[in-house]
Structure 1
């Protein structure tokens, strides 16, 4: 997408204000070089009532382009650094980057 790192971090901070830091975690499902049919299945499996094109359109259903700040898995550090730069405390950034997932797993599995 066209989202900047700053916009993404602003959205994360807004979400923290809405639902609390303990309910937010970054997923590790960066999908690179997968066929376009996979994204359409993810958006329009048996669970949808109408077509969902996500960031795409009905003319182009391909995967959206990854932002320059998150093109590969090792770029995840950019999100952490962006959260810190946006004013988030380091401990809260660690929660979003993985600690919340660990707590969720301990509690539910």
Structure 2
């Protein structure tokens, strides 16, 4: 069972997309996937849908956000700390700025 919501089996898709702890990120109205359905059960199915429907920049944002969601989960499990969803969104935005700056210097 998911150690956060204790409702569903903990799978990659659940942790990154379906869990209430991930959903509180994805419902924000400033992100590219706001209000998408939570029906995908397989991660590759979800990723294909994202890849088919998002721009490259949006897909990079989603990938970075998923990484931050995974880190948020680990911080909760191992340090008993749960980052605010707005912090996840802000840090994701900052990470992408740093990523683009690094790419521009190459």
TM-score, normalised on structure 2? Answer: 0.30
Counting helix residues as a fraction of each chain, which structure ranks higher? 2
- Larger Rg, first or second structure (1 or 2): 1
Of structures 1 and 2, the one scoring higher in RCO (CA 8 A, sep 6+) is 1
